Chain A
Amino acid sequence: MIENLTWSNYFLCRNESFIQFWELYLSDSRDMLFLLAKGFDPRMPILFQTLVEMGQKGRRDVVILPIEGSQSIISANNERLVESNIKSVNEAIKRAQARSSVSVLDSVPTITRTNLDDLLLDNGLVNRYDDIIIDISSFPRTAYYILIDYLLSQTSEDVDSNLHVAVNESPEIDNLIMHEGIAQQAMPISGFSAGVARESLKHLPLVWFPVLGEKRENHMNKIVESHEADEVCPILPILSQDVRRADKLIRQYSALFEEYKVDPRNVILASETNPFDLYRSIVQASIKFQKAFVPFDGCRIMISPLSSKLLNVGALLAAYELRNKNYDVGVVHAPTLSYGIEKIDEIQNVHEKCSLTSLWLRGDCYTDD
């Protein structure tokens, strides 16, 4: 058991408990800010629709943030889908007769840590609400990593708001989303560069935690090409809907296991539905490695989120924790260049296919009094 972990106790609700918690929570008057992505993913408005219908005591403001993505053949329908998503958000507000405003921020092409100051902080958005909910359902990985990390840093400093991260997961919809192209080289995510990219630290051993997910071999190869790990600790999901998922992933990444001669004791099994489980596993393992590598002046930790959004959030929380503890930690991935949906007609009854989860990361439930 490690002491002084930010989330040694945590709050997570999912499916039925998600509904129960939010119904109870929203029975009080609360001003809430929803941060959504200006994305084409049909899951974009659903979580907001669900929560805005639960109770309207207090404001329900929405800020829709830009996300990066290059134009291509597969993204031809994206603009139309984005418009439809924004329309759904507005309709949900009308239906619920909520006190609400919707702001679509278009002044920048995508969110970076630099422009988040302008978009959120300088506009006073972060301080104004009782609760901030980041719905990461339609954010790409880089964007939600930057956004969560940014708001975790802000809320730990001088903001009293409660910070929630919510996600609406659906493997069926994930399968309908087409991925096109991959970055030329694996790269660290902004905020988590120094630990792995500093030339002056490259003589330190590198311990790598790849969070394995389906169909990410190309991404994995890019990371392997640009970073030479000394220890590899693959992370596999357990308590999964598909009980053989971990076995299948081992088979899919057999080259990785073979090339690095992965010690079976290094394999980490983490609950697919509980990101805090993965968070604790990575932090614990990192602390052990750091101790073991003391004769070499310590080690560097590299985390690669290649799995579902929930597990990737667990990896982010671990990176955040380790960075705060002054570990040399970095998050490295190889981003996909564009996304799109070809078979739009197949995305029907989106509500039925989704599974809602929320994590309460900062605020009242962590205060002592």
Chain B
Amino acid sequence: MSNPFRLLRSERISSDHEFLRLFGMGLLESLMEKRTFSQNEPTLILQSSPGGGKTSLLRLLTPSVLKLLEQHKTSPEFQALYALLRERISAFNETGSSLLGVYLPIDSSYSEIRRLGLPEKSWRMLLGEFLDARLGIQGLSAIAELANLDFPLGLKKVKMKPINGGEEYSSAHELFIKLSEKEQWIFSMIDHTDKASILESKAPLFLSSAKLLMPENVHINGKRAYEKAIFMLDDAHLLGKGQLGFLLSELIQAPSHSFIISLRSEAMQEAGLVLSGAREQRDYIHLYIEDYWRSFPSKFYSALESVADKRVRDAREVQINSFRACVDSMIENPVILKKVKKKQEDTKQDIIDLIGDENIAEEVITGFGDLMGDHYEQLVELRAVKILIERKLRHAQRTLVPPDDPKDFVSGHVDSSLRAASRLFIAKEEKVPCYFGFEEISRLSSFNIEQFLNLASSIFEFLMAQMSLGGSSQISPGDQHRLIVEHAEKRWNSIPQTVSHGYGVQGLIKGIAGFCSQQTFRPNAPYAPGVSGVALRPREFALIMDQSSSHREKWHKELSVVIRSCLIENILEKKIIAQGKPSREHVVLYLNRLLGVIWLLPVNYGGWRIVRARQLHNWMYDGYEKQSGVLGI
């Protein structure tokens, strides 16, 4: 059976039609708010973790996909997308697609140039020539695709207008031959079939192909071949040391071409050095995908639902229209219900024991808990009331006269945070599922589309198997919870092999998670719904992470490579949080939501506690030990 969620990344979807059908518009709309792709617009820097959706966005603007969209513009499935691209960025005109999207994936070849041992001026020249040649070749390939010409021979029909001071080409095919030779020459140096040459050019030629490919210079049968050109460099973080800085400074100095540079977050440090001398909006536009989604979570969750629905509809073996409908959010399993009822009784008894008077206890329960829901919801309320009593007892003063007002036994009231904490307590104490329902699954994505699709894939695989055996078209909360934990454990177990410094990452995360778990499950749940992150003071964080600092000790370096690795892979999510005054800012490192389920941590972004960097380092090697010197907030 084919599982449509398995096609996670756009790189893995080979058919353009399939890609279009599975494309979610959410992120595109946000991009359109930032740009119209007119000439002279500054370069757009698209930042995200792996699986954030960068490549999908760029792929949408390539000629083969736009042409396909044009062909299906009247189909209800694609109407909205077509209209958006036509109205907002004029990707189409009356005759068809009018946008030339030139997509160049950056690979390791560029960083090989740094290994040639050339002086800086020479490698910069070579890099400029290399980028120029490859961008030009990709541009010519895109023109052939857009104009339905064979590649490369069909380029003979494409005429190139000479530009001032540049070489003249009888056709685009001639340009292709020249660029191919240039690329081959550079590869002969990379592969050492030829000696590396010191280039004598006066300036890097990076933008010469982009100039040649501007719409006014390219004609077929006497007409312009397209109206707009966008140049997209994907995975720019794979450039070698210093190369990204070179690329960005070239683009900032020459903003006459429409460029999109996509990169992962780890490259922003090098990019930042260049960008700090430039002005945002004027010289460049920066879109950090995960940050954007964090600012508009409801948009993100609705985008996820749309992506998920498209995928379930794509499954051939089962007839389902909505992913949400597949994930049941009511506990009906008789075994679990029996446990729930038993726990209800036990919790009631606990409350009576804590208060010491059955009548007052009854008043407290009815007065502070909402007991209108099903058995599970009632239990959640009861367990929440018990937490309120624990809180009060913690601060209670001994008096000669015993209290008799229900208000004297509880502190605060039951709210959504406390209910969420209560669910976690019940799950821990009675092994009753707590991670189920579409909202929970969405939150477990940590604002990363690939993480969501991966998880949804595991869940959907189970559903297809269940249905093929004649079972229900819904997955019970118990099965959802089990599948989610299994999926999280699988991700956890793969960390050593797939993540740089993976063993150190596991050590650190285990320490942080152990600490968060201990804080979350304190009887009075002081940070309801729980703690899912640790905070460092900004100065300390900067000292650890600043590679140029001379004050760093060995342990700083050991910790920094592991934290960096966690941030790159979205295993930790960094957030700057100010408490009251800006001077009380903290760098909060939240655990990835999905990994948190292994320790029954909350899916909400909530509590965090201040720790010292040295503690994190100790946890990395020795694990977390209770009460290891946490500072109070």
The winner among B180, B192, B494, B620 for most chain A CB atoms within 10 A is B192
Q: Is A175 on the interface with B (CB-CB < 8 A)?
A: no
Q: Judge whether B107 and A73 touch: CB under 8 Å.
A: no
* CB within 8 Å: A-B pair count: 114
Interchain CB contact (< 8 A) of A178 among B14, B264, B496: B496
Stretch at the interface among A92-100, A198-206, A302-310: A198-206
A337 to B565, CA, bound (A): 12
A225 to B9, CA, bound (A): 8
For A225, list chain B residues within 8 Å (CB): 9, 11-12
Shortest B449–chain A CB gap in Å is: 15
Q: Contacts A70-B500, A114-B117 given: A193-B190 contact, CB under 8 Å?
A: yes
Interchain CB contact (< 8 A) of A200 among B184, B264, B621: B184
For B116, list chain A residues within 8 Å (CB): 114
Q: Is B235 on the interface with A (CB-CB < 8 A)?
A: yes
Q: Which of B230-275 contact A (CB under 8 A)?
A: 235, 237-238, 264
For B180, list chain A residues within 8 Å (CB): 198, 200
Q: Is B507 on the interface with A (CB-CB < 8 A)?
A: yes
Total number of A residues with any Cβ neighbor in B under 8 Å:
37
Interchain CB contact (< 8 A) of B137 among A114, A115, A180, A200: A200
Q: Judge whether B238 and A184 touch: CB under 8 Å.
A: yes
Q: Judge whether B497 and A182 touch: CB under 8 Å.
A: yes
Q: Judge whether B187 and A193 touch: CB under 8 Å.
A: yes
Q: Which of B203-232 contact A (CB under 8 A)?
A: none
Q: Which of A205-253 contact B (CB under 8 A)?
A: 215, 218, 224-226, 228
Q: Is B19 on the interface with A (CB-CB < 8 A)?
A: no
Interchain CB contact (< 8 A) of A180 among B112, B141, B503: B503
Q: Is B547 on the interface with A (CB-CB < 8 A)?
A: no
Of all chain A residues, the one with the shortest Cβ separation from B104 is A199
A197 to B498, CA, bound (A): 24
Shortest A58–chain B CB gap in Å is: 31
Q: Which of B175-196 contact A (CB under 8 A)?
A: 176, 179-180, 183-184, 187-188, 190-192, 196
A199 to B186, CA, bound (A): 12
Shortest B267–chain A CB gap in Å is: 11
A73 to B151, CA, bound (A): 50
- Interface bits A163-201 vs B (CB < 8 Å: 1, else 0): 000000000000000111110110110111110011110
The winner among A73, A202, A224 for most chain B CB atoms within 10 A is A73
Q: Is B125 on the interface with A (CB-CB < 8 A)?
A: no
Q: Is B538 on the interface with A (CB-CB < 8 A)?
A: no
Q: Is A29 on the interface with B (CB-CB < 8 A)?
A: no
Q: Judge whether B192 and A190 touch: CB under 8 Å.
A: yes
For A184, list chain B residues within 8 Å (CB): 50, 237-238, 264
A42 to B108, CA, bound (A): 32
A184 to B70, CA, bound (A): 35
A190 to B193, CA, bound (A): 10
Q: Which of B133-155 contact A (CB under 8 A)?
A: 133-134, 137-138, 141, 151-152
A181 to B498, CA, bound (A): 5
Q: Judge whether A190 and B112 touch: CB under 8 Å.
A: yes
Q: Judge whether A198 and B183 touch: CB under 8 Å.
A: yes
Q: Judge whether A193 and B191 touch: CB under 8 Å.
A: yes
A72 to B557, CA, bound (A): 11
Q: Contacts A180-B497, A180-B502, A191-B192 given: A200-B176 contact, CB under 8 Å?
A: yes
For B496, list chain A residues within 8 Å (CB): 178-181
Q: Is B499 on the interface with A (CB-CB < 8 A)?
A: yes
For A202, list chain B residues within 8 Å (CB): 141
Interchain CB contact (< 8 A) of B191 among A180, A194, A203, A215: A194
Interchain CB contact (< 8 A) of A73 among B152, B498, B621: B621
Categorize the interface residue count of chain B.
35 or more
Q: Contacts A187-B107, A193-B187 given: A337-B11 contact, CB under 8 Å?
A: no
Q: Judge whether B109 and A193 touch: CB under 8 Å.
A: yes
Q: Is the interface of B mostly helix, strand, loop or mixed?
A: helix
Q: Judge whether B184 and A194 touch: CB under 8 Å.
A: yes
Q: Is B52 on the interface with A (CB-CB < 8 A)?
A: no
Q: Is B63 on the interface with A (CB-CB < 8 A)?
A: no
For B581, list chain A residues within 8 Å (CB): none
Shortest B146–chain A CB gap in Å is: 15
Q: Is B477 on the interface with A (CB-CB < 8 A)?
A: no
Interchain CB contact (< 8 A) of B141 among A113, A114, A203, A215: A203
A199 to B504, CA, bound (A): 38
Q: Judge whether A200 and B179 touch: CB under 8 Å.
A: yes
- Interface bits A103-133 vs B (CB < 8 Å: 1, else 0): 0000000001111000000000000000000
Q: Is A285 on the interface with B (CB-CB < 8 A)?
A: no
A348 to B379, CA, bound (A): 58
The winner among B50, B107, B138 for most chain A CB atoms within 10 A is B107
Shortest B240–chain A CB gap in Å is: 12
Q: Which of B116-140 contact A (CB under 8 A)?
A: 116-117, 133-134, 137-138
Q: Judge whether B138 and A74 touch: CB under 8 Å.
A: no
Q: Judge whether B11 and A191 touch: CB under 8 Å.
A: no
Q: Judge whether B107 and A181 touch: CB under 8 Å.
A: no
Q: Judge whether B107 and A197 touch: CB under 8 Å.
A: yes
Interchain CB contact (< 8 A) of A115 among B14, B117, B133, B238: B117
Shortest A346–chain B CB gap in Å is: 18
A218 to B493, CA, bound (A): 13
A337 to B176, CA, bound (A): 37
For A112, list chain B residues within 8 Å (CB): 115
Q: Judge whether A218 and B187 touch: CB under 8 Å.
A: no
Shortest B335–chain A CB gap in Å is: 34
Q: Is B407 on the interface with A (CB-CB < 8 A)?
A: no
Q: Judge whether A190 and B12 touch: CB under 8 Å.
A: no
A224 to B6, CA, bound (A): 14
For B503, list chain A residues within 8 Å (CB): 72-74, 178, 180
Q: Is B501 on the interface with A (CB-CB < 8 A)?
A: yes
For A338, list chain B residues within 8 Å (CB): 501
The winner among A72, A74, A112, A193 for most chain B CB atoms within 10 A is A72
Shortest A109–chain B CB gap in Å is: 11
For B191, list chain A residues within 8 Å (CB): 190-194
Shortest A328–chain B CB gap in Å is: 11
Of all chain A residues, the one with the shortest Cβ separation from B117 is A114
Q: Judge whether A218 and B497 touch: CB under 8 Å.
A: yes
Q: Judge whether B235 and A337 touch: CB under 8 Å.
A: no
Q: Judge whether B192 and A181 touch: CB under 8 Å.
A: no
For B264, list chain A residues within 8 Å (CB): 184
For A178, list chain B residues within 8 Å (CB): 496, 503
A73 to B506, CA, bound (A): 11
Of all chain B residues, the one with the shortest Cβ separation from A222 is B498
Of all chain A residues, the one with the shortest Cβ separation from B196 is A114
Q: Contacts A184-B238, A193-B109 given: A73-B179 contact, CB under 8 Å?
A: no
Interchain CB contact (< 8 A) of A218 among B235, B494, B500: B494
Shortest A213–chain B CB gap in Å is: 14
Shortest A75–chain B CB gap in Å is: 10
A112 to B502, CA, bound (A): 26
For B133, list chain A residues within 8 Å (CB): 199
For B196, list chain A residues within 8 Å (CB): 114
Of all chain A residues, the one with the shortest Cβ separation from B116 is A114
Residues of A within 8 A of B (CB): 70-74, 112-115, 178-182, 184-185, 187-188, 190-194, 197-200, 202-203, 215, 218, 224-226, 228, 337-338
Starting from the known contacts A72-B504, A184-B264, 15 additional A-B residue pairs (CB-CB under 8 Å) come to A178-B503, A180-B501, A181-B496, A181-B498, A182-B497, A185-B238, A187-B108, A194-B188, A194-B190, A199-B134, A200-B179, A202-B141, A203-B151, A228-B14, A338-B501
Closest 10 CB pairs of A and B: A187-B108, A200-B180, A194-B187, A181-B500, A113-B192, A199-B137, A199-B134, A73-B504, A73-B503, A72-B501
Residues of B within 8 A of A (CB): 9, 11-12, 14, 50, 104-105, 107-109, 112, 115-117, 133-134, 137-138, 141, 151-152, 176, 179-180, 183-184, 187-188, 190-192, 196, 235, 237-238, 264, 494, 496-504, 507, 561, 565, 620-621
In the assembled complex, 14 residue pairs joining A and B whose CB atoms fall closer than 8 Å, in A order, are A71-B561, A72-B503, A181-B565, A184-B238, A187-B108, A190-B112, A190-B115, A193-B109, A198-B187, A199-B104, A224-B12, A225-B12, A226-B105, A337-B501
